[in-house]
């Protein structure tokens, strides 16, 4: 948990203007009667912190800021009545509940304190945890204002990324475009034939529908610039996740020059057993979790070390001093896989 610190001011909220306006309207309404608590819900790296920082910048001293970094127990839950500020902003509220028997007590206590308080609570949640808790204990009923941060489409993403640089600072190189068509890209898929033991790779055409649509001849032919193709590729890999896109941008940028070939796509073929899928969905929902907390969730029945080893080996999660989180570039494939196998609903 971290206490009141200086907000990272000056960060813009491009792409989330509507959502931010919804929050400010709710804050401005607050004053009389029961406060209309706010939940900001987003998938990992969608920019919850950006929104929180902006709230702290605008409302300054009225805000008391807290961020949960690990699982909170009823005894470590802060006492909100002693706080002077009238707005309490709490980041990472998914740490209030764990998916085990008796794991909802802290959240129950928190919600009781919240609804009896006269202060306005602005809470941020991991989207997967939020959906789970809404299904299990109707969490959404406690928050009259729910703001869900959307996935970004390419033009908006371009705006967000370019706002981080001075005009003309970035040079786009078309190196890498010549050898491949923009309509489709050649990828190598590994497939397993039923009568063969080992996997074989076959070349596979991946169609770029967005580029295709733009290329459809109209009255005036639309030219697709290298810049657009690059952003198209970044957003395709990031799957509309702004955090992942920015990270990809930063890792691909070389001396303020970006070429299409510099953007690396890591291919993922995920195949997991029920235990591994379960642990992966827990890590995805909590964003960062210590191995001992995971062991408490799974109980003695599961060999958690083996599962974690397997997930690290497949480049899906990483270990930060005992805390496990999903690797940024694996977020999209992992979410897709867990949705497909009905671990996320």
Partner 1 sequence: MVGMADPLISNVTTEISTVTSGLPLKTIDANLVFYIISIIIIAYVLSYLLSFILIHVSERIGWYRTTVTMAIPLLKLIVYTVAFYYIIIAIIEPSLTQVVAFSGLFGAAIGFGLKDLFADIVGGIVIIFEKPYQIGDKVTVGDKYGEVKDIGIRSTRIQTPSDELVSLPNFTIFSLPVTSGNAGDLAMMIVIDLFIHPDSDAGKAMKILKESLVTSKYVIISKKYPCTVLLEDFPFYKRVRAKGYVNDLRLEFEFKSDVTRRAWAEFKAAGIQASLVCPAFDARE
Question: Candidates 83-91, 119-127, 129-137, 142-150 — which segment interacts with partner 1 by CB under 8 A?
Answer: 129-137
By CB under 8 A, name the one of 3, 5, 10, 101 that touches partner 1: 101
Burial 136-159 (b: 16+ CB within 10 A, else e): eeebeebbebbbebebbebebbbe
Nearest to 339 by CA among 194, 199, 239: 239
DSSP tag of 254: B
Decide if residue 306 touches partner 1 (CB under 8 A). Answer: no
Report yes or no: 36 and 25 within 8 Å, Cβ to Cβ: no
Closer CB to partner 1, residue 137 or residue 224?
137
| Tokens at 107, concatenated | 């959240």
Bridge-based pairing state of the strands 289-290 and 323-326: antiparallel
Closer CB to partner 1, residue 208 or residue 277?
277
By CB under 8 A, name the one of 25, 171, 189, 340 that touches partner 1: 340
Decide if residue 104 touches partner 1 (CB under 8 A). Answer: yes
Q: What's the rounded Cα separation, in Å, for the pair 328 and 231?
A: 18
Strands laid side by side in the 63-67 sheet: 63-67, 87-91, 120-126, 38-42, 145-148
Closer CB to partner 1, residue 6 or residue 198?
198
Decide if residue 74 touches partner 1 (CB under 8 A). Answer: no
Decide if residue 6 touches partner 1 (CB under 8 A). Answer: no
Min. distance of Cβ 33 from partner 1 in angstroms?
A: 30
By CB under 8 A, name the one of 100, 171, 189, 292 that touches partner 1: 100
Q: Name every residue whose Cβ is closer than 8 Å to that of residue 227 and which is 6 or more positions away in sequence.
A: 158, 172
By CB under 8 A, name the one of 34, 115, 136, 207 that touches partner 1: 136
Decide if residue 60 touches partner 1 (CB under 8 A). Answer: no
By CB under 8 A, name the one of 28, 84, 179, 301 that touches partner 1: 301
Scan residues 169-228 and list those touching partner 1 (CB under 8 A). 194
Closer CB to partner 1, residue 224 or residue 296?
296
Question: Candidates 41-49, 120-128, 132-140, 228-236 — which segment interacts with partner 1 by CB under 8 A?
Answer: 132-140
Q: Is 77 left (phi over 0), alpha (psi -120 to 50) or beta?
A: beta
Decide if residue 112 touches partner 1 (CB under 8 A). Answer: no
Min. distance of Cβ 273 from partner 1 in angstroms?
A: 11
By CB under 8 A, name the one of 115, 135, 207, 212 that touches partner 1: 135
Cα dihedral value 141, 17, 121, 288, nearest 10: 90
Q: Would you give the binding string for partner 1 spanning residues 260-289, x where CB under 8 A is met?
A: --------------xx-xx-----------
Q: Name every residue whose Cβ is closer than 8 Å to that of residue 42 and which is 6 or more positions away in sequence.
A: 48, 124, 125, 126, 127, 148, 149
DSSP per residue, 164-198: TS-TT--EEE-TTTTTS-SSEEEEEEEEE-TT-SS
| Tokens at 211, concatenated | 């580029």
Closer CB to partner 1, residue 136 or residue 202?
136
| Count of positions on this chain that bind partner 1 (CB under 8 A) | 22
**Interacting residues with partner 1 (CB under 8 A):** 99-104, 132, 135-136, 194, 274-275, 277-278, 299, 301, 339-343, 345
């Amino acid at each position: 948990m971290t206490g009141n610190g200086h907000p990272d001011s000056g960060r813009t909220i491009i792409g989330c203007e509507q959502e931010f306006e919804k929050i400010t309207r709710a804050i401005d309404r607050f004053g009389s009667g029961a406060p209309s608590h706010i939940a900001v819900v987003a998938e990992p790296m969608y920019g919850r912190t950006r929104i929180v920082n902006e709230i702290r910048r605008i409302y300054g001293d009225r805000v008391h800021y807290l961020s949960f970094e690990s699982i909170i127990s009823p005894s470590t839950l802060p006492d909100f009545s002693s706080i002077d500020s009238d707005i309490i902003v709490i980041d990472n509220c998914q740490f209030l509940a764990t998916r085990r028997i008796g794991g909802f007590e802290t959240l129950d206590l928190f919600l009781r304190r919240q609804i009896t308080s006269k202060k306005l609570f602005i809470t941020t949640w991991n989207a997967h945890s939020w959906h789970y808790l809404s299904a299990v204990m109707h969490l959404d009923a406690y928050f009259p204002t729910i703001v869900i941060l959307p996935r970004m489409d390419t033009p908006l993403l371009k705006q967000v990324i370019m706002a981080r640089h001075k005009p003309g600072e970035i040079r786009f190189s078309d190196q890498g475009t010549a050898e491949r068509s923009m309509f489709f890209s050649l990828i190598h898929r590994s497939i397993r034939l039923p009568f063969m033991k080992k996997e074989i790779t076959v070349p596979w055409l991946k169609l770029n529908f967005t580029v295709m649509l733009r290329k459809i001849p109209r009255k005036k032919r639309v030219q697709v610039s290298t810049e657009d193709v690059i952003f198209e590729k970044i957003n395709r890999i990031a799957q509309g996740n702004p955090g992942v896109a920015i990270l990809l941008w930063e890792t691909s940028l070389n001396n303020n020059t970006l070429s299409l070939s510099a953007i690396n796509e890591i291919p993922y073929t995920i195949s997991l057993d029920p235990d591994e899928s379960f642990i992966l969905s827990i890590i995805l929902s909590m964003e960062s979790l210590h191995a001992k907390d995971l062991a408490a969730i799974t109980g003695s029945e599961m060999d958690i070390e083996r599962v974690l080893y397997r997930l690290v080996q497949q480049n899906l999660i990483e270990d930060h001093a005992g805390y496990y989180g999903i690797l940024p570039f694996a977020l999209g494939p992992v979410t897709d896989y867990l949705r497909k196998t009905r671990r996320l609903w």
